[in-house]
Amino acid sequence: MAHHDQFPPQQQEPPGLTGAMDPTPDHGEASYQGSGRLSGRRALITGGDSGIGRAAAIAFAREGADVAIGYLAVEQEDAEETARWVREAGRTACLLPGDLTDESFARGLAQQAADALGGLDVLVNNAGYQMARGTSIDTLDSADVDRVIRTNLYALLWVTQGALRHLPRGGAIVNISSIQAYEPSGTLVDYASTKAAINNVTVNLAGELGARGIRVNAVAPGPVWTPLQPATQDAEHLTEFGANVPLGRAGQPAEVAPAIVFLASERDASYVSGTVLGVTGGRPVF
C-alpha cells in the first residue's frame, strides 16, 4: 500500500486470522532478501504465526536462522503458513502452540524451542494482546486488564527467564514495544502501560545481561496492518487506521521485520543494547 488507502470496515474475534483480512498484509514474502545476518542462529519468536512475528520469521529464515514459533492453538492455519515460508527458505521451522498466559507453558516454551532446534540464540518477545474500549477509565474491566498484563508483561518475563537458561554469549533478545509507550491512547490505557513497562524492562535487562554478552533491545512499531487490529479495534476506527502519522499510512509487517533483524544480528548490532528502535511512520519515540 503506497499511500493512505482507507481500510474496508471489518471485525474479527481475538486473536484474529490473516486469511480473513482485507487487504492481505505484506510479510515480505515477495520482497525480503537475506544476506547471512543470522547464519546458523536459532530463534524463538512468540506470536510468530502472523503479523509482525510472521514477517520476522520469514526474514530470520532468509538470513539463515532456524525458527521456533509460539502461537495460540486456534491460530494453527496461520502458524502453518509461516512455517511453510521458513522451510521454503531452507531452514527448520518448529511449531509450539500454547497459551502464554499459562505460567508453566510460558516458562517452558524456550526449553521446547531449544530441544527442537538444538539450542537457542535469539528470543523475540512479540506476542501481545490489546482490546480497545471506551475512552473513560470507568470502562476498564478487570478480566480484560488481567489478560493484557499477563500476555504482554508477565509472559514476557516468564519466557525470558526460560530463554536465559539457553542464550549464549552473543545471544540477543528483542522485545516488541509500541508507539503506545510514548503516545498512549485513552482507549488502550492498560495496553499502553504494558508497552511502557516493556521499554523499562528492556533497559533493565540490558544492564543485567551485558556482562554475559547478551544484548537486549526493543522495537516500537506504530500502526501496522496485522490481525491484532481487526480483532481488537472497532470497524469504524479501522477505516482511518494509520492516517494520522507523518507518513500518512499504516505500515506493513514487512516494514518492521528489518528492524528486528538488525537488533538480533551480532554482525550488525554488536554494540547496540538497551535501546528502542521506533518504526512508527514518523511518530516520536523519545
Q: Give the x-and-dash track for 42-81 against Mg ion (CB under 5 A).
A: -------xx------------------------x------
Q: Which of 139, 134, 153, 161 is nearest to 233 (CA)?
A: 134
Tally the C-alpha atoms within 13 A of residue 215's C-alpha that lie toward its C-beta: 21
- Integer Cα distance of 48 and 79 in angstroms: 7
Question: Within 10 Å of residue 228's Cβ, how many Cβ atoms?
Answer: 20
Please state, in angstroms and as integers, the Cα–Cα distance from residue 9 to each residue in 229, 234, 235, following that order. Answer: 11, 8, 5
The listed partner (ligand NAD, Mg ion, none) that binds 221, CB under 5 to 8 Å by sort, is ligand NAD
Whether the bond into 23 is cis, omega within 30 of 0: yes
Give the containing element (helix H, strand E) for 157. Answer: helix 155-163
- The separation between the first and the last C-alpha atoms of the chain, rounded to the nearest angstrom, is 28
Q: Output the CA angle 128-55-104, nearest 5 degrees.
A: 35
176 binds, among Mg ion, ligand NAD, none (CB under 5 to 8 A by kind): ligand NAD
Contacted by 100, from ligand NAD, Mg ion, none: CB < 5 to 8 Å by type = ligand NAD
When asked if residue 60 is in the footprint of ligand NAD (CB under 6 A), the reply is no
> Closest distance between ligand NAD and the C-beta of residue 150, in Å?
7
CA distance 205 to 189: 24
Q: How far apart are CA 95 and CA 68, in angstroms?
A: 6
User: Residue 94, interface with ligand NAD (CB under 6 A)?
Assistant: no
List C-alpha distances in Å: 133 to 125, 138, 186, 231.
25, 10, 9, 12
Binding-site size, ligand NAD (CB under 6 A): 29
- Pick the closer one to ligand NAD by CB: 47 or 171: 47
Q: Is 182 known to be catalytic?
A: no
Per-residue contact track with ligand NAD, 228 to 257, x per CB under 6 A?
A: xx----------------------------
Select from Mg ion, ligand NAD, none the partner in contact with residue 223, using the beta carbon and a kind-dependent cut-off of 5 to 8 Å. ligand NAD
Q: Return the range that interacts with ligand NAD (CB under 6 A); candidates 3-11, 71-79, 210-218, 265-273.
A: 71-79
49 scored as a contact of ligand NAD (CB under 6 A): yes
| Residue ranges in contact with ligand NAD by CB under 6 A | 15-16, 47, 49-53, 70-72, 75, 99-101, 126-129, 151, 176, 178, 221, 223-224, 226-229
**Sites of contact with Mg ion (CB under 5 A):** 15, 49-50, 75
Active site residues: 191
